Amino acid sequence: MEEQLRQQQLRVLLNASSRPFPSSSSSIWPSNSSASEPVTAAAGGGEAAGGGGGAVSPWDIALCATGTAVACENALVLAVLFYTPSLRAPMFLLIGSLALADLLAGLGLVVNFTVQYLLQPPNAAVALSAAGLLLTAFSASVCSLLAITIDRYLSLYNALTYHTERTLTFTCAMLLLMWLLCLGVGLLPLLGWNCLRDQATCSVLRPVTKDNAAVLAVTFLLLFALMLQLYLQICRIAFRHAQQIAVQHQFIATAQATSTRKGLSTLSFILGTFALCWIPFAIYSLVADSSYPAVYTYSLALPATCNSLINPVIYAFRNPDIQKSLWLACCGCIPSTFSSRPRTSSDV
């Protein structure tokens, strides 16, 4: 009889030891069946079982590859600005701020991929830090674009006093304040502004809550409206200058009109690219929540991240001074066809 009781107790212990441990309800890492749910704040990256056998989402691979390309491209811009002493004007500080923000955004996408699939065991604090890095980087990128737009407007509106008012010290101070503000936005998830304890409040930008995502989306749309208004003012000032030049020098009116049309085309390209990359994602973040299919988040987040891939082409590589430095660094010479026309921050 005692032998039968011992065997029964042994079977109970063996059965209990073979059962899986329950997962923590506070973990941001779901089971493999939910590996396509959104996780990251600014990139809308896919949530997956952390590296332990969960299938890697092709969308996450695309975001990681995009982040790598973004980081490399903007690192090149920063290297050129850092190692070229002549590129120290306020305009280049703004371009450098944009390149630094986009570099951090690219690194954030790579870090986010690493946290999702390679970090063992999963850690909520690390995941929140990765989300905060993305929030900080993309916020700084958008704010740097706004700063560049304001700088171009002031260079035309206050052309006579621009160079005396926009000193290096003033520009550095404004950029420092901007980065501190963006850092504060990035710290919000770590300071408790997240949905880890109440999954029903999650937005498509997990771990950001629906209310916080709505605030970020509305703020972005307001910043875009401000940029649009400033570029419209730039167009008006450019047209007025073109008319004045045409009246004074009628023999170059045709050339001036061609230059004006080219400037308008460039402005349209800048605003169109920015709007196509970011506005669909911002509107979707405003109206959607975590119950929406993850593929929608991915398909809108990927173009938004690609904006950081396009920014160096628009704002850095088109600049003749940066082009000259790149030619000297890569080839040790400057092509004979290279234009030496001086360029100001009002050029677009």
Q: What is the largest CA-CA distance in the chain?
A: 117
Please compute, for residue 44, the number of CA atoms within 13 A of its CA located in the half-sphere on the CB side: 27
pLDDT score of 121:
74
Q: What DSSP designation does 208 have?
A: S
Length of the chain: 348
Residues paired with 209 in a beta bridge? 202
pLDDT score of 39:
40
How far is the first Cα of the chain from the last one, in angstroms, to the nearest whole number?
A: 93
Vertex 85: Cα angle to 82 and 164 (nearest 5): 110
Domain parsing of the chain, residue ranges: 58-331
**Burial readout 6-34 (b: 16 or more C-beta within 10 A, e: otherwise):** eeeeeeeeeeeeeeeeeeeeeebbbeeee
pLDDT score of 341:
52
Plot region of 44 (φ>0 → left; ψ -120 to 50 → alpha; else → beta): left
Architecture of domain 58-331 in this structure: Up-down Bundle (1.20)
- The residue type found at 106 is G
Residue located via tokens 């460039």 = 266
pLDDT score of 296:
93
pLDDT tens across the length of the chain (348 residues): 555 555 555 454 444 444 333 333 333 333 333 433 434 444 444 443 344 446 888 999 999 999 999 999 999 999 999 998 888 888 899 999 999 999 999 999 999 999 988 887 778 888 899 999 999 999 999 999 999 999 888 888 887 777 777 788 889 999 999 999 999 999 998 988 888 888 888 888 888 889 899 999 999 999 999 999 998 898 888 777 767 666 666 545 555 555 556 667 777 888 889 999 999 999 999 998 888 898 999 999 999 999 999 999 999 888 888 888 888 877 766 766 665 555 544 444
**Burial readout 58-70 (b: 16 or more C-beta within 10 A, e: otherwise):** ebbebbbebbebb
pLDDT score of 234:
86
pLDDT score of 14:
43
Which residues neighbour 101 within 8 Å (Cβ) at sequence distance 6 or greater?
137, 138, 140, 141, 143, 144, 182, 308
pLDDT score of 13:
42
By the 8 A CB rule, do 286 and 214 touch?
yes
Q: How far apart are CA 86 and CA 340, in angstroms?
A: 15
What are the residue ranges of helices labelled H in the chain?
Answer: 2-17, 58-83, 90-117, 124-157, 162-165, 168-187, 210-248, 253-287, 294-315, 320-331
Residue located via tokens 């963006």 = 182
How far is CA 309 from each of CA 68, 91, 97, 247, rounded to the nearest angstrom?
Answer: 10, 20, 15, 41
For 227, counting Cβ atoms within 10 Å of its Cβ (0-12 exposed, 13-18 middle, 19+ buried), the class is: buried
**Dihedral sign (CA 40, 57, 106, 150):** negative
By the 8 A CB rule, do 273 and 310 touch?
yes
